[in-house]
A and B are shown apart, each in its own frame.
Chain A
Amino acid sequence: MNTQQHTVSRRDFIRISAFAGGGLVLGFKLFSSCGPQQEAGVIYELNAFVKIDTNGEVTLMNPNPEIGQGVKTALPMLVAEELDVDWQDVKVEQAGLDTGKYRRQIAGGSGSVRDSWESFRKAGATARQMLINAAAATWDVAPGDCTTEKGQVIHHDSGRKLGYGELVERAATLEVPEDVPVKPIASFAIIGQWIPNVDNSAIVTGQYKYGIDTKREGMRYAALVRPPAFGQTLKAYDDTETLQQQGVERVLRIDNKIAVLGRSTWEVMQGAKKIKAEWEDGEQMESTADYQRKFREIVARRPAGDPQRKDGDVQQAYNNAAKVFEAVYEAPFLAHNTMEPMNFYADVRADGVELYGPIQTPERTRATVAKLVDVPEEKVTVMMTRMGGGFGRRLMSDFVEEAALVSKTAGVPVNLIWSREDDMGGGYYRPMCTYRYKAAVDADGRLIAWQHQSVGTTGNPARAGSFPAGAVPNLQVDAQEYKTPVTTAPWRGPIHNFIAFSEQSFFDEVAHAIGKDPVTFRLEVLEQAKQQPAGELEYDPDRFAGVIKKAAAMAGWGTPKGPNIFQGVAAQYSFNSYVAQVAEVEKRDDGKLKIKRIYCAVDCGIVVNKSGAENVVEGGIIDGIGHAMYPELTLTRGKPDQLNFNTYRMIRMAEVPEIEIQFIESDIDPTGLGEPGLPPAGPAVANAAYAATGVRLRTQPFVKSGLFA
């Protein structure tokens, strides 16, 4: 059980507020963007998160990468809450990578808000206290007799007021106070509100710059020709036609790839298409059909090696069981398909490296690139642009490394841009996996054994603590890796995204087979976890049951809504959050199914931004349905069969069901939200499809079953 009660160590806090002591003068602003009423002043930095202009303008820094998950709005909200400023008056700026000032500048693991909750509020509260102390010193009164209200300090007795801008110069010279308390939850004025994204105005007018929009003096665009199949190596190439393409200037070999440099994106992409390359096959040129066959064979055999988890004895439980069930589930490779394809600007010079673009892991990327181009890490700068999606793909830095190598080899700054075909065919997929489940119930319908045996391409395909682990006395988890040249990576809700499908569907199979209502059976098993926990219990059974009950109530579970409406339920605990969903499908006159509605209950502790939270959960649900229903990435002898959206089907507007989301009221510290909405959506749909048709969906994508309209 984990309620995420963070504390900030003194060491962390000093790091966060390292710039506070002495009051750094950042310089005069030449232009003010806020009209004539606000003359440009001098900007002071009270700590790494708070900058205040002597004209009163407050700028809050967002240190984490923005991939569309909304941190550039949510994180500064935490600071603004404690600083006590009007959100309307705040400006937000993206910070570059600065490990001296910030910790964990990562977009991943649904961790930005979880990890920042305590420290960011503390930074806001400390800056506020410095402003109060400055006012108290100015008025020669006790700081305790002063308070703040939306950007000004007020002296209780006299009613005197000074704006933050008037105080910041003095505040910046004061010692940083220690252990400043943060507000009680009940007095939050910004946290918990519906706050739109801070970049919206620039977005709707097309002004906002993404990495792909980067253009600098002397820069060249670059496209890379990569091996068309995983496992191939470059033998030879002919660039005659490429060099005849208008706008193409140079062609370079970069290891196993060919770089085409030129004056525009389209021109270098056209040039890349005209390269005639010869590729040599590697030893392992397999197809996804081969993997599927091998994986089925592997999970049919007795597991090899040590189990990841073993509670009790499953074999013995099977011998004593009233009923034993077994099923095999399969999940295909999936591409991330961020709408903004991979790209990065790199300028590698002898005296330093500038990296600028969309990356979820700037710190790790800096270290990797520094080593790659042999430049000390302190001479490498990384600035993160707002990203046209991440979904885990930009946790990898392969494309930044490519940009750096091309820049170094060519001796010019480059913006390396992948085409859609490069992006979809370029690997780092959600792994392909097969699972075999086995479960047993006793004569009273109690779940007494649960076994999960899995195999997947690269990495661990199992989560040893996943439900119903901790609730079942006999449980075993075995996982095996099958090594292939196909690169894989985390994909939104890693492992959860396919384990939830198989686990929640198989659980549904068992419930139906023993004649129990799937919601009731889940609640019973969670009660087992509460009353008689078996082994380590990662989740809180009460919070888990809470979202299931809530979603069931929202959906009117158990009360038929019509002869052609069928429901399915699924729930998953991930990134310390609890999400349950009920999917509703309609069986049309032709017998085909249409997904009509999803009811979703979320327990993620305190909701920081209502708009962002609802948006990211809603998107996660549709993303989960879309990827369970439509696409798969298949390979023929190592070569991806799908390279663009004509053959790789994404969910589009017509397939989107109605969605209703409720958040459980909570005073527990916030937990993850970028990913947890996704995992239950696929199994909820599969379970509803079973209720409607009696056909059990055990392989994704579901559309291949022919059940859906």
Chain B
Amino acid sequence: MKLHINGNEYDIDTPENTSLLDVLRIHLKLTGSKYGCGEGICGACRVLIDGHATASCITPVGSVQHKEVVTIEGLAKDGRLHPVQQAFLDEDAFQCAYCTSGMIISAVALTNKSPKPSRQEIIDAMQINICRCCAYPRIIEAISNV
């Protein structure tokens, strides 16, 4: 099947029910999206599917054949970081950073819809994303500064 990921077209030979996360990480070596819970309830594996932040771990790869998938690896353009990536850098908004790519993906989806989100909008949009190290205040601050 044909997949459109980060502006590239890939031809993948795998059953349609295979997890999109597995295809990204194993077949395409795009390991920036992380496995966290396998149930779509922690946010670590989030990618943009037609602009929506979506849990790739519970998304069958067959369902994204005619959609545009963007992963953490596809956010920077022409050597320039996406403003959300830059904001996380500036704020040092990480500890173990395992949740970071999912956090950034959720924040990109949010700021695309609402360029200057309020604190409440940020919290509502990011509630699925768990940061086990609890770097939450800096993550909120980073998104506020985009």
Contacts and interface: CB of A to CB of B under 8 A. Distances in A.
B42 A645 contact: yes
A90 B137 CA distance: 29
Interface string B29-67: 111111111110110100000000000000000000000
Contacts of B71: 206
A341 B31 CA distance: 15
Nearest to B122: A653
Closest 10 CB pairs of A and B: A206-B32, A68-B96, A388-B98, A206-B72, A266-B22, A622-B134, A68-B95, A213-B31, A196-B92, A204-B85
B21 A266 contact: yes
A653 B129 contact: yes
A208 interface: yes
B135 A652 contact: no
A417 B134 CA distance: 24
Interface stretch (A426-434, A499-507, A528-536, A613-621): A613-621
A650 interface: yes
Interface string B4-27: 000000000011001101100111
A70 B35 CA distance: 23
Given A210-B98, A340-B98, A650 B130 contact: yes
**Interface secondary structure of B, over-half rule:** loop
Given A68-B98, A204-B100, A215-B29, 13 more contacts: A68-B95, A194-B92, A204-B88, A205-B72, A205-B73, A206-B30, A420-B38, A623-B133, A645-B130, A646-B41, A652-B130, A654-B127, A658-B137
A604 B126 CA distance: 33
Contacts of B86: 204
A9 interface: no
A639 B44 CA distance: 27
Nearest to B136: A656
B98 A265 contact: no
Interface residues of B, number: 61
A656 B135 CA distance: 10
B34 A200 contact: no
B1 interface: no
A194 to B, nearest CB: 8
Contacts of A653: 122-123, 126-127, 129, 136, 139-140
Contacts of B41: 644-646
Interface of B: 14-15, 18-19, 21-22, 25-27, 29-39, 41-42, 44, 71-73, 75-76, 81, 85-86, 88-89, 92, 94-101, 104, 122-124, 126-140
A370 interface: no
A419 B29 CA distance: 20
A93 B104 CA distance: 25
A207 interface: yes
Given A215-B29, A266-B19, A619-B135, A339 B96 contact: yes
Interface in A236-291: 246, 263-267, 269
A626 interface: yes
A199 interface: yes
B97 to A, nearest CB: 5
Contact of B98 (A221, A339, A654, A656): A339
Given A204-B85, A204-B88, A212-B34, A339 B42 contact: yes
B35 A646 contact: no
A389 B101 contact: no
A7 B130 CA distance: 41
Contacts of A626: 134
Given A206-B31, A264-B22, A199 B97 contact: yes
Interface of A: 67-70, 194, 196-197, 199-201, 203-210, 212-213, 215, 221, 246, 263-267, 269, 337-341, 386-391, 417, 419-421, 611, 615-616, 618-623, 626, 644-646, 650-654, 656, 658-659
A389 B132 CA distance: 7
12 contacts: A200-B94, A265-B25, A337-B132, A389-B98, A420-B37, A619-B135, A620-B134, A646-B41, A653-B139, A654-B124, A654-B127, A656-B137
A197 B94 contact: yes
Contacts of B94: 68, 197, 200, 203
B107 to A, nearest CB: 11
A386 B104 CA distance: 19
Which of B37, B39, B99, B124 counts the most A-chain CB atoms under 10 A from its CB? Answer: B37
Given A201-B89, A205-B73, A652-B130, A645 B25 contact: no
Nearest to A618: B137
B33 to A, nearest CB: 7
Contact of B92 (A200, A264, A619, A652): A200
A246 B130 CA distance: 31
A216 to B, nearest CB: 12
A651 B32 contact: no
B58 to A, nearest CB: 11
Contacts of A654: 123-124, 127
B19 to A, nearest CB: 4
A650 B128 CA distance: 10
B25 A213 contact: yes
Nearest to A195: B92
B39 A203 contact: no
Nearest to A264: B26
Nearest to A204: B85
A301 B119 CA distance: 52
A339 to B, nearest CB: 4
A420 B36 contact: yes
A388 B130 CA distance: 12
B103 to A, nearest CB: 10
Contact of A659 (B31, B33, B137): B137
Contacts of B37: 420, 644-645
Nearest to B120: A654
